[in-house]
Amino acid sequence: MGLAPLRLCDAASTYCRLHRELRPCPTRRSVAAGCYYSGLKMNSQICLSCKGIERYLGEEEERVHALRGVSLEVEAGSVHAVVGPSGCGKSTLLYILGLLDPPDTGQVAIESKSVSHLSDDELARTRNKFIGFIFQFHFLMEDFTAQENVMIPMRKLGQLSDVQMRERANDLLEAVGLGDKLRRASRHLSGGEQQRVAIARALANDPRVILADEPTGNLDTANSDRAFELLQNIVQQGGNALLLATHNPVIAEACDWIHEMKDGRIIASHPRSTRSSIV
Amino acid sequence: MTPPLYIALRFLTHRKRALLLSLSGVVFGVAIFICTQAQTQGFARYFIDSTIGSNGALVIRSRFRPRYEPLMVSAKGSKAAMGRRLYFEGITNPNEIMRVSRQFSNIVSCSPVLRGTVSARAGFENATVDLYGIDPALHAQTTDILHQLINGNFDDFRNNTSSIIIGSRLAELLQAGVGDTVQLLAPNGEFWRFTVAGIARAGIGSIDATRIYAHARVAQALLQQPSGATMIIYKLRDPNRAPALASRFETLFQHNASSWQEREESTLQLFLTLRMSVAITVSLIILLAGFGIFNVLTMSVLAKIKEIAILRSMGYRRIDISLIFLWQGAVIAVAGSLLGCSLGALMTWGVSHIPIRLRTRIISW
């Protein structure tokens, strides 16, 4: 079990082509990694931000203050890592930023537009269009082939014809090195392959932001390095933003920004330029 | 195809065993429902056709005296008692009643009948029989007697005034066949000799076991009846309108008129009760099948918690998720119903080809 060697250069260039196809207007700037935290203002395009997020989980005696006033800004083309001990609120933050879970207080904005007032249906539509999710345990639809898994978000978006969706899914799977396993049922793929299908699926609607909850947590070192490298390349070439929660220090080090979380707070944010080794 | 429908179909086709289980529940439930309903409805239809074919859709019988109580001035303090109708046996002026009634558009034909109870004897066997004195031509037009003949010839009966047609079970009882002699006992104690010209089977036990048809003139002489008819039976274009016509005839002719619905009310109620009982039983079976589907879908939902989370993360709305599972139920219900209807039709066709001889026992009027 393991990842086949990824053709990263090919993959990145293929993805860039796909990116142009789905979003032909070259509105995004090529940017350097950036973040706004604790009064640090960025001058690049902010695609995802949150401010003063508070979140309680559980009821009564089991009530936990999971997030305590978290603020974060993620810029297009940057890769952000959220690190911290288990239970510090990384996943909760990701779910709130991914509009899966509403905050108790605070605001989330996508491309500077607040989504706090949106209905559940509108949040779902926004999620479908702007956000791609990658989970630790792949979370593919077992009954579907790799190709069909990648097509599911596109079906919901409804912008492409069936043939176009199929072609795009093929190209995305080709980009992640699974061109020869398009029609293989997802449960018959190895762990590494499933994660690559999950990456391709997260990119299906060319989202502005990719949120990954420990995307390499279930992979061996070689596979996790390759998967991360793939994501990094795709993000940098395509101008998306990647925010990932990870326990892997090597991966965190490779990100443009590292946000340290503890007890529901971001206690420090380190851009690549200001750190030697954080984690 | 909408994404929820697409996903629903994929879920369904992937779980073939669960799909077959749910589908078979609906298919058999619907098929059995159709088959049992068809059977009870078929029995009812058969009975109605038989009773109308033998006794007519509408019958006029005894004349009654019109009530004049509304014209009477009652004494102070006394309550005006509603008197019962006073009936006189037999039809007064049957030819005139038939002439007038033929003017009604719903009337196809009518036949006067002189009815009486006599004893029949053939060989060493005796039976009490219902003698129907009929005009062969008119009776053939009004009833299904021609189709009911299983033995003999109606023309032989028509052309021979000393011939009779007897019910099939009566023929068995008297051990009499076509050409045999049957003696009927007149009220004055004389035996009249008749030749059996035909044997009829109405399909209703009480008719087949007791009825004998003879020529009206001969029957009148045998029964020593002054009137030519004790009742007139009618064939209607629309038997369902018989009650309204009966009410009209009562007012018009001052004779008791009863529709087949009124005559067979208890039997029709019995059929209705039977149909309802069967419908309730089969509905319970379908309900159980429904619980089966519900169970399978619930299991499917529980088994797809992960998939639901994935779909939500990809931007599928709550309604989309609900639709995925509702579509599965709808597909099973529609496909199961269609297949069940086809199977039900096939089963009904098969049952209708099982050679069953019906013996319906009713209380004859």
Q: Are residues A227 and A198 in contact, defined by beta-carbon separation less than 8 angstroms?
A: no
pLDDT of residue A9: 43
pLDDT at B364 over 50: no
Residues from chain A contacting residue B10 (CB–CB below 8 Å):
143-144, 148
pLDDT confidence of residue A7: 40
What's the pLDDT tens digit per position in B23-75? 888 888 889 888 888 888 888 888 888 888 888 888 988 777 666 666 666 66
Please indicate, yes or no, whether the overall pTM of this predicted structure exceeds 0.90: no
For residue A185, give the amino acid letter: A
Residues within 8 A of B (CB atoms), A 178-197 only = none
* Identity of the highest mean pLDDT range in A185-189, A231-235, B17-21: A185-189
Provide the CA A131 distance to its chain's centre, in angstroms: 7
Quote the pLDDT of residue A216: 77
What share of residues in chain B are helix, strand, coil (percent, to 5)?
55, 20, 25
Give pLDDT, residue A14.
53
Contact A79, A235 (CB under 8 A): yes
Q: Cβ–Cβ of A124/B316 closer than 8 Å? A: yes
Amino acid sitting at position A121: D
What value does the mean pLDDT take over residues B210-222? 92
Please give the helix or strand (H or E) that residue B178 lies within, else none. none
Choose the closest CB to B318 out of A120, A131, A135.
A120
Which phi and psi (to 5°) does residue B110 adopt?
-145, 155
* Mean pLDDT on B344-365: 69
Residue A34: the pLDDT is 33
Residues B116 and B108 sit within 8 Å (Cβ to Cβ)? no
Placement of tokens 């997802």 in the chain: A186
- What distance lies between CA A236 and its chain's CA centroid? 13
Question: Which token pair is B232?
Answer: 């007139």
User: Would you place residue A221 in the very low, low, confident or very high pLDDT band (cuts 50, 70, 90)?
Assistant: confident
Q: What is the pLDDT of residues B121-143, one digit of tens each?
A: 988 888 899 999 999 999 999 99
Q: Do A141 and B310 touch (CB under 8 A)?
A: yes
Contact by Cβ (8 Å): A168, A204: yes
In this prediction, residue B130 carries a pLDDT of 92
For the stretch B153-170, pLDDT in tens is: 899 999 999 999 999 999
CA atoms within 13 Å, Cβ hemisphere of A248: 23
* pLDDT, tens digit (0-9, with 9 covering 90-100), for B281-329: 878 877 877 787 777 778 778 888 888 888 888 889 999 999 998 898 8
Distance from CA of A93 to the nearest CA of B (A): 14
Of B14, B312, B313, the CB nearest to A143: B14
In tens, the pLDDT along B73-108 reads 666 665 555 556 666 677 888 888 889 989 898 899
CB contact under 8 A, B314 and A121: no
- Mean of all residue pLDDT scores within chain A: 79
Q: How many CB pairs under 8 A join A and B?
A: 57
Confidence of residue B280 (pLDDT cuts 50, 70, 90): confident
Question: In order of start, what are the domains of chain A with their CATH numbers?
Answer: 8-22+76-103+117-271 (3.40.50.300)
> Predicted confidence band at A42 (pLDDT cuts at 50, 70, 90)?
very low
Burial class of A32 by CB neighbour count within 10 A (0 to 12, 13 to 18, 19+): middle
Query: Does ipTM exceed 0.90?
Result: no
Q: Is A133 on the interface with B (CB under 8 A)?
A: yes
pLDDT above 70: residue A52: yes
What residues contact residue B270 under an 8 Å CB cut-off, 6+ apart? Answer: none
pLDDT at B200 over 90: yes
Contact in structure between A156 and A224 (CB atoms under 8 Å): no
A30 compared with B46, residue with greater pLDDT? B46
Q: How confident is the model at residue B199 (pLDDT cuts 50, 70, 90)?
A: very high
- Residue B315 to residue A125, Cβ atoms within 8 A: yes
- Cβ-based contacts of B7 with chain A (< 8 Å): 152
Q: What is the pLDDT of residues B172-194, one digit of tens each?
A: 999 998 999 999 998 888 899 99
Average pLDDT over chain B, rounded to an integer: 84
Mean pLDDT of A129-155: 86
Q: Partners of B195 in the beta sheet? A: B163, B181
Q: Is A129 on the interface with B (CB under 8 A)?
A: yes
- Residue A26's pLDDT is what? 37
Which residues of chain A have a CB within 8 Å of the CB of B6?
155
% chain B with pLDDT above 70:
90
Contacts of B296 (CB under 8 A, 6+ apart): B18, B21, B22
Give the range with max mean pLDDT: A9-23, A227-241, B60-74: A227-241
Best B313, B317, B319 residue to mutate vs chain A (most A CBs within 10 Å): B313
DSSP string, chain A: --PPPP-HHHHHHHHHHHHHHH--S--SPP-------TT----S-EEEEEEEEEEEESSGGG-EEEEEEEEEEEETT-EEEEE-STTSSHHHHHHHHTTSS--SEEEEEETTEE-TT--HHHHHHHHHHHEEEE-TT----TTSBHHHHHHHHHHHH--S-HHHHHHHHHHHHHHTT-GGGTTSBGGGS-HHHHHHHHHHHHTTT--SEEEEESTTTTS-HHHHHHHHHHHHHHHHHHT-EEEEE---HHHHHTSSEEEEEETTEEEEEEEGGG-S---
Q: Which of B300, B310, B318 to mutate to test the interface with A (most CBs of A within 10 A)?
A: B310
